[in-house]
Amino acid sequence: MGLNAREWLASYAAELGIDPPGDAEVEQLLALAGIAAHASERTAAPITCWLAGRAGLEPGAALAAARRLTDS
């Protein structure tokens, strides 16, 4: 069996030279992905998270933006 999610995230973050996300950030990113998947198609979830990262948003700010979009 391969790595679990936490191990993968820690290893990938190390490969990128950054710190892995903390528990709160993971929960916010999962919520962001969930909003994207339910508001559109499942494939929107990872790309939405990528867009947030590309925009330089912290997970909480990205989640708030998605909630504003779906609330309107």
8-51 pLDDT per residue, tens: 999 999 999 999 999 999 999 999 999 999 999 999 999 999 99
- pLDDT confidence tier of residue 72, bands split at 50, 70 and 90: confident
Tell me the whole-structure pTM to 2 decimals: 0.89
pLDDT at 6: 95
Q: How far is CA 11 from CA 5, 14, 16, 45, 59, in A?
A: 10, 5, 9, 22, 20
- pLDDT confidence tier of residue 1, bands split at 50, 70 and 90: low
Q: Parse the chain into domains and list their residue ranges.
A: 22-71
